[in-house]
Structure 1
């Protein structure tokens, strides 16, 4: 398995739908998600072997908004849960 990020429960739900997030914000969130993946990969060298309680939901800010994310070491994933535009 390899570390990656994804929208949870899906891109359409998190940044699309009736009131989609601005494209500039989505770009910023996705760039920051890449940084979070690299940090998690360095912290959890073998995430699949991780045992214990995870970090819980966290918030990250970008220039045009913020987003909630969850790092799940056993899945080797950073899940983007919610995106909010300013």
Structure 2
């Protein structure tokens, strides 16, 4: 277990506006799991060929994806965007 946290960037209202509640719950569940990975979260998702930077991870069987930034210096995973094809 790590001391990492997660947050929305720029804000929860901006990123989750108009999303179904189930999608928001899944995004928050995944963000919690990414934070639990700690520094290893810089390796999760796309792109596969490098670490760090803005990462993408499929949600709900490919019906959308989240873009997130894992920042080791802040010990935080920032959810930057949610794309939902619903």
Q: Same fold (TM over 0.5)?
A: yes
1:70 aligned residue: 69
Report whether the alignment pairs 1:60 with 2:57. yes
Q: Distance in 1 between matches of 2:64 and 2:78?
A: 17
2:13 aligned residue: 12
Shift >2 Å, 4+ stretches: none
> TM-score scaled to structure 1, two decimals?
0.75
| 1:42-68 alpha-carbon deviations (Å, 9 max, x no partner) | x49xxxxxxxxx700000111142110
Q: What is the RMSD computed on CA atoms of the aligned residues?
A: 1.7
Unaligned ranges ≥5, structure 1 = 45-53
Q: Distance in 2 between matches of 1:3 and 1:21?
A: 26
Structure with higher RCO (Cα < 8 A, 6+ apart): 1
Deviation for aligned residue 1:3: 1.1
* SS of corresponding position for 1:74: coil
Q: Distance in 1 between matches of 2:23 and 2:64?
A: 7
Q: Distance in 2 between matches of 1:61 and 1:40?
A: 19
> TM-score scaled to structure 2, two decimals?
0.75
Q: How many residues align?
A: 72
